Amino acid sequence: MREEALELLQKYLKTDYMLKHSFAVEAVMREVAKKLEPEKEEKWAIAGLLHDLDSDITGREPGVVNDAHAFKTVELLKEEAYGDEELYRAILGHHDDKGVVRESLMEKAIYAVDPITGFITAIAKGYPDKKITSVKTKSVIKRMKEKRFAANANRDAMRAIELTGMNFDEFAELALHAMQDIAEVLEEA
């Protein structure tokens, strides 16, 4: 399942920072799934990997509303005969602007996971070595309270992880460690 998803990712997404973001969301979704729905770990990871598949096509920019974004991803996946309604709903639900009521744990989780990966990356960029491996969980928690830091980051979405029963501090630690586990992918030039 992942090999086919990687082929689709490579076919449609070429922008380096969006590829890294996709791998980060995949890694965090995998870890959150292990905690909340271990039997669906692979599907959660694939949702994370493919959630921004259309970014190069729709001109998706982080933090900017784009009416076609996510809908185009689902359209592409259907054209490629890949995925199912559960996957499509998670992808559509990863943004506020899609009108999807998040019902499943996966839909709720991806909504929180998507912005925390960028938030953690922003924290790392503030370090002298710019390494994700240098970031500490306490820094993520502390920066969440600093409204001026990464002011465009959707803190409400990140805190929405609590709708899954996971508290934010635990989520921050899990997300950071998942990203640190693939730091070589996220930090390569």
Has residue 189 got a pLDDT over 60?
no
- Domain borders along the chain are 2-184
What pLDDT shows up at residue 68? 77
SS3 string, 4-35, reads HHHHHHHHHCCCHHHHHHHHHHHHHHHHHHHH
Has residue 31 got a pLDDT over 60?
yes
Q: Per-residue pLDDT averaged across 34-38, rounded?
A: 98
pTM over 0.85: yes
Task: Note the helical H segments in 51-100.
Answer: 55-58, 71-79, 85-92
What pLDDT shows up at residue 29? 98
Chain mean position to CA 75: 19
* Percentage above 70 pLDDT, the chain: 93
Q: What are phi and psi of 100, to 5 degrees?
A: -90, 130
CATH of domain 2-184: 1.10.3210
What pLDDT shows up at residue 9? 97
